[in-house]
Amino acid sequence: MLNNFKITTLSLRIRIFLSMIVLILMASVILASISIFQFKNEAKQYHQERLERNENSVKQHINYVLATTTYPLNSGNLDLIFKDKIHELAHIHNVEINIYGLQGKLLKSSKESFSVDKVAPPIPEYILKLVRSSIEKRYVDITTIDGKRNRSAFSQIKDDKFKPLGILNLPYVEDDGYYENELKSFLIRLGQVYTFMLLIAFALAYFLSSYITKSLKTISDKLSETSLKRKNEKIVLEANSNEINLLIKAYNGMIDELEISAAKLAQSEREEAWREMAKQVAHEIKNPLTPMRLTVQSFQRKFDPKDLKVKQKMDDYSETLIQQIDTMSAVASAFSNFASMPAQQNETLNVVEVVELAMDIFNEDYIECKSESPEIISIIDRTQLIRIITNLAKNAIQSIPEQQEYKSVVVRIKRENNNVLITVADNGIGIQRTDTERIFEPKFTTKTSGMGLGLGIIKNIIENYKGTITFETKLGVGTTFTVSFPIINT
């Protein structure tokens, strides 16, 4: 559930509220972090400077002792020179002092020791190398023992001619108690201040976010209620924000325009519905008249009483005319009852036979009908299938110019997987590229006659059978329409 959570799902009011709270919390965390970092840096700087001051004071005192001693100044006499003085120095400067030879062996220490104590370890070799190699001949070793940082300064003791005599060591244990107490006190005070500020921020953020989003909530509610189907109310609100006032003004203007558009749209829809119904009915009645006229003309031209197949031809012609008359009758009945176009009257039939029968009404000798199989059985409305074929064939014939010498219209039927594919190909003038996207639009036509409803109607018929209609065209070469619909088995 949390994985699907997005900040954008929160309302503007909640986001403003949370933003203010987050800013307060971030400011408090950043300030506390900076304070802790500053206190630690100050403590580190303090211990470093204090050790340097002690070391300088002790070295000045040691130089004075070396300058006033009666012993010869060499490494071997350091333990004699500071035999009694080292405790005096440690007491005066309140530090522990250790004096080592140049090889790192402890010569004298202010720390009390007993004979049973272990021999003090020498200075590690790496510290001796660091002291010798440094410019100041000094090195501070930092270690942590029992959670406390220990600094140990090592520096060379020199005579008046800057000749090394030994090594001075001042151990120093960092005591951060004062700074830790100051830091705790500061963080407590900071926490108290920011807790108080956070409570104020909660209240301020709540009222401020409510104030900012109040007008937006009113506009949002009105927008969600806006509909073309009912009377919409304007927003009567004077906001303190100029931007929100402009938004309210724009909404109210939109409501006025919406009311005018809704009235015009309702009137237009009523008029368009009647116009479309009249055009569709007229087209559906006119559509069967062409094949009927062609059938009668063909009958007049080819009728021969002495023909041995005259009875069979009469039956074929009669059946074609009856089918077209039935189609017209169905359209007329549907219109008279203010119903839709004829509903599908599906029946089991041979698609190849129906297509060939539909093509028989055309007299043009350049029309061919080919099928890969003599029989493709499916369940489909016979009248609507004939309507599809005759419409595509008629369009193909009309796309070929009268003066064109070679004319061809080829209708092919085949079965592909579980679909019936019917193609109607012509070698006419083709379809302009600007017209290809509108070819199935109602009322669109490139012919001087006709209403442009034919392809739109048959497209709806084909899609009712879960089928498709597509086309390929090339100017000056021709056009091929492909109808595909699934075979519905019994």
Cα(473)–Cα(471) distance, integer angstroms: 7
Name the least confident of 123-127, 196-200, 289-293, 469-473.
289-293
Rounded to an integer, the average pLDDT of 389-401 is 89
Name the least confident of 47-56, 289-298, 382-391, 413-422.
289-298
Q: Positive or negative CA dihedral for 233, 234, 236, 238?
A: positive
Cα 464 to Cα 247, 324, 358, 414, 461, distances in angstroms: 46, 21, 21, 21, 5
Rounded to an integer, the average pLDDT of 55-76 is 82
The HSE-up count of residue 387 (CA atoms within 13 Å, CB side) is: 31
Cα(41)–Cα(37) distance, integer angstroms: 6
- CA-closest candidate to residue 460, choices 283, 325, 249: 283
Name the least confident of 87-96, 169-178, 400-409, 461-470.
169-178
Q: What are the residue ranges spanned by the domains of the chain?
A: 7-112+119-180, 347-490
Q: What is the pLDDT of residue 114?
A: 45
Does domain 7-112+119-180 bear CATH number 3.30.460.20? no
- Global pTM value: 0.37
489 — alpha (psi -120 to 50), left (phi > 0) or beta?
Answer: beta
Tokens of 344: 């599908």
Q: Binning pLDDT at 50, 70 and 90, where does residue 445 land?
A: low
Alpha helices, H only, 337-411: 351-359, 382-398
Residue 276 and residue 442 in contact, taking contact as beta carbons nearer than 8 Å: yes
Cα(284)–Cα(328) distance, integer angstroms: 7
Number of neighbours of residue 358 by Cβ within 10 angstroms: 22
Residue 423 and residue 450 in contact, taking contact as beta carbons nearer than 8 Å: no
* % of the chain with per-residue pLDDT over 90: 5
Backbone angles phi, psi at 316, to 5 degrees: -65, -45
Q: What is the pLDDT of residue 460?
A: 82
Cα(370)–Cα(368) distance, integer angstroms: 6
Mean pLDDT over each residue of the chain, to the nearest integer: 77
CATH architecture of the domain covering 347-490: 2-Layer Sandwich (3.30)
Q: Do domains 7-112+119-180 and 347-490 have the same CATH topology?
A: no
Q: What is the pLDDT of residue 115?
A: 43
With residues binned 3-state (H G I as helix, E B as strand, rest as coil), the percentages for the chain, rounded to 5, are: 55, 15, 30
Please spell the DSSP secondary structure of 137-191, one letter per residue. SEEEEEEEETTEEEEEEEEEEE-TT--EEEEEEEEEE---HHHHHHHHHHHHHHH
Give pLDDT tens digits for 324-354: 777 777 666 655 544 445 556 788 889 999 9
Give pLDDT tens digits for 25-50: 787 788 778 877 877 787 777 778 87
**pLDDT at residue 482 tops 90:** yes
Q: Binning pLDDT at 50, 70 and 90, where does residue 1 land?
A: very low
Q: Positive or negative CA dihedral for 322, 299, 372, 455?
A: negative
Give pLDDT tens digits for 406-440: 999 999 999 988 889 999 999 998 888 888 777 77
Name the least confident of 100-114, 314-328, 334-348, 379-393.
334-348
Q: What is the pLDDT of residue 480?
A: 93
**221-225, 264-268, 270-274, 290-294 — most confident range:** 290-294
Q: What is the pLDDT of residue 424?
A: 93
Q: What is the pLDDT of residue 410?
A: 93
Name the least confident of 142-151, 331-340, 367-376.
331-340
